[in-house]
Structure 1
Amino acid sequence: MIVLLGTGVVVTLIGNDYRMRERRLSVPVAGGSLDAVLTLPPRDPARGLVVMVHGDGPVEATHDGLYRPWFEAAADAGFATLSWSKPGIGGSTGDWLSQSMADRAAEAGAVIDHVRGQPDVPAGPVVLWGASQAGWVLPKLAATRDDIKAVVAVGPAINWLRQGRYNLLAELDHDGADAAERERVIAVSERTRRLLDDHADYDTYLAGSGDPEPMSAARWRFVTRNYTADATADLHAMAGRHLPVLLMLGRHDRNVDTEETRATYRRILGDRVTVTRFDSMHSLARPVMEESDVVGLATAVLWPRALLAGGVLDTYREYLRKLA
């Protein structure tokens, strides 16, 4: 038992030993501050900066360690990475559920403005990296700033409502729901949509949706702020910047219609988009990592790099290396 325990500790230490330096920052913003992490190449000065924009949920700066393989890949390519805990998470003040997508873009812009010129923060190109919900944030930011040189978009959606319906139907298919269950769940979704269009308050939503697992009041307010989000207009605005975009999509994504995303990005941004697909889920994790809680948790603890599908980190690393 002692030998096995010792082996597990060694594996965990090796699996979580990264080729980079990491330090904490506190970034002042209106009304408080954001707890941030800056990672750097292990020895040489960084030549560029990746700014991470999270997806949905209460995400901490390192995503509880799951972002560190991405940080390391960027460091291998000579890039620093900046990421921060969402408002109200970890040491960050505020409440992320009070934000619109425009608020999120403004927050990211304020963070970039503050850190430029700080010790160890490179003056070279800024690359935006964003996952999932960040698809409604990245184009807003990229369209309005002259210091953004490239965008890496991981599983972004185009339209909030279409994305929600796609996810709903994909999960029903995955779970093998029968006709009666599909009809019930879709009816709840339709009622919720009508309540959103009617600008219903939370009590009206609770009384009228029929949802057996209703949203919290804070989540309902967040959705009412953002359910009309659509990236199309911001992508058109971003097109004028002629920025290169790496679009990273999972072949088994049940959250986002990746074909709609691919087609929209290609139609608006043309050949500036490099489309890559992986044998992965929405997060670019290998399918087994999400289908098996035991396998996913063990891998996250012992060897987080192995969560991601083959080729994900190599593709990201090489893309950054080729940026001027």
Structure 2
Amino acid sequence: MERRRGGPTRRRRVVRAALAALAALVVVAAGLAGLVVRQNTYALREETVTVRYGGRTLHAVLALPERGEGPFPLVVFVHGDGPVDATHDGFYRPMWESFARAGYASLSWNKPGVGGAPGDWLDQTMEDRAREAAAAIAWARRRPDVDGRRIGLWGASQAGWVLPKIAAQDGRIRFAIAVSPAVNWHRQGRYNLLAELRRDGASDAEVAAALRRRETGLELLGRGAPYEEYVRAVGDPQGMTAARWRFVSRNHTADATADLPALRGVPVLLVLAGHDVNVDTTDTEAAYRRLLPAPPLRVAHYPTATHGLVRHDVERSRVRLTLTALCAPRTLFAEGFLSDQRRFLSSLATDEAGR
């Protein structure tokens, strides 16, 4: 049988082409890996620390400016809702870097039950969270690299109920950055429900049914009904677990207006997003302006941001959100969000120097 001409040569060409393509992929992958590493390397020093509080240990991270021994002014981070770890899965690091460039350290810790920390965050009240933060602040004041006279707060969403309580417990809080903070639990819940229904294109009948379900839940919360009764009343719990029901039962009467006056005279930066389906920013701004004088209250609006101050065009695409978080995490946030906070902190040092 006659052998096909060029058979071995053709195979060698195919192999060479495949090897060249593989080599190119390796180069591209190495380049992407290098990009991810560079973009997720921050100009700061992170130290893992432990804070003793109430017989348990808080697993915390202290992020210090890249250079210097301090003492540095400190931003204490207070998380929003959910099982959040000290870095918020890396989400906080661009802020820590920005604050470090203004000469500030940052302190944050795992919620109870997160990342090996003891306890369960769903067992906490807003008062518990405030006492926990106060203990962390007391710990920080004992460190030689922290300026105990210049400690302030950063908090988002649910932290809107915690920040004023911390200020009420600790009269030495020097500033606060409140990002999309909630004010009244019931009003916030109704706003969130309706905003999500509108976003998802719910019909009038679906909206009416959801509101009836909500009223049933509020009635049960009002008389301290157990979880089993809630399930019997509404049928499908739709993600409301027994632990979550207990958490809501302990906290559903939260209203920041009783504690916000504790921040009077303290420089407060109120940060509000234009695409916030979680918090009614109009209601929040009205409450802050009514209860806190301006100045020192400052209000910053970000029309293109979502509740977490991530750019709306990025957050609405899961693929784009993931790629941005990996390859350009500093650009996740609405334009100006990082720099405006840094300027706010820098202005505090300038004001103190002037005084």
Asked if Structure 1 and Structure 2 have the same fold, meaning a TM-score greater than 0.5 normalized by the shorter chain, the answer is yes
1:159 equivalenced with 2:169 (yes/no): no
- Residue matched to 1:260: 283
Identify unmatched segments of 5+ residues in structure 1: none
- Assess if the C-alpha contact under 8 Å between 2:153 and 2:173 holds in 1: yes
Counterpart Cα distance in 1 of 2:44 and 2:110? 20
Which fold has the larger relative contact order, with Cα–Cα distance below 8 Å and residues 6 or more apart in sequence?
1
Which amino acid is 1:267 matched to?
Answer: R
What residue identity is the alignment partner of 1:249? L
Structure 1 residues 29 and 179: alpha-carbon distance in aligned structure 2, compared to 1, 3 A threshold: same
Q: Please say if 1:20 is aligned against 2:44.
A: yes
Say if 2:92 is the partner of 1:67.
Answer: yes
Could you tell me which amino acid in structure 2 is paired with residue 312 of structure 1? Answer: F
Q: Which has the larger radius of gyration?
A: 2
Whether the 8 Å contact between 2:140 and 2:148 is mirrored in structure 1 is no
Aligned counterparts of 2:328 and 2:313: Cα–Cα separation in 1: 15
Q: CA deviation at 1:11?
A: 1.2
Asked whether the equivalents of residues 134 and 169 of structure 2 are also in contact (C-alpha less than 8 Å), the reply is no
Structure 1 partner of 2:22? none
Q: What is the TM-score of this pair, normalised by structure 2?
A: 0.88
Task: Tell me the residue number matched to 2:199.
Answer: 174
Q: Is the 8 A contact 1:130 1:138 kept in 2?
A: yes
Q: Could you tell me which residue of structure 1 aligns to residue 16 of structure 2?
A: none
Q: Percent identity, aligned pairs only?
A: 51
**Aligned counterparts of 2:77 and 2:344: Cα–Cα separation in 1:** 16
1:62-82 CA-partner distances (Å, limit 9, x unpaired): 001010011101100000000
Equivalent residue number for residue 157 of structure 2: 132
Measured after TM superposition, the shift of residue 119 of structure 1 is 4.7
**Superposed displacement of residue 114, structure 1:** 1.6
After superposition, give the CA deviation of every residue in 1:144-198 in whole Å (9 maximum; x if it has no partner). 3132100100000110010010000001111111112212222211111111112
Structure 2 alignment gaps of length 5 or more: 1-24, 350-355
Name the CA shift for 1:212/1:180 in 2 (closer, same or farther; >3 Å). Answer: farther
Please tell me whether residue 34 in structure 1 is matched to residue 65 in structure 2.
Answer: no
Counterparts of 1:77 and 1:124, CA distance in 2:
17
1:98 equivalent to 2:123? Answer yes
* 1:292 pairs with one of 314, 317, 331: 317
Aligned length: 322
Cα pair 2:221 2:249 within 8 Å, conserved: yes
Which residue of 2 is the match for residue 248 of structure 1? Answer: 271
Measured in 2, the distance between the counterparts of 1:312 and 1:102 equals: 29
Q: Is 1:217 paired with 2:217? A: no
| Partner Cα distance (2:346, 2:227) in 1 | 48
Distance 2:136 2:247 in 1: 22
SS at match of 1:270: coil
CA RMSD of aligned residues (A): 1.2
Are residue 269 (structure 1) and residue 292 (structure 2) matched?
A: yes
The answer to whether the 8 Å contact 1:49/1:124 transfers is: no
Q: What does residue 217 of structure 2 align with? A: 192
Secondary structure of 1:36 counterpart: strand
Match of 1:226 among 231, 248, 251: 251
The normalised TM-score by structure 1 is 0.96
| Partner Cα distance (2:231, 2:343) in 1 | 49
- Correspondence for 2:101 among 73, 76, 85: 76
Q: 1:211 to 1:230 in 2, by over 3 A?
A: farther
CA-CA distance at 1:25 after TM superposition: 0.3
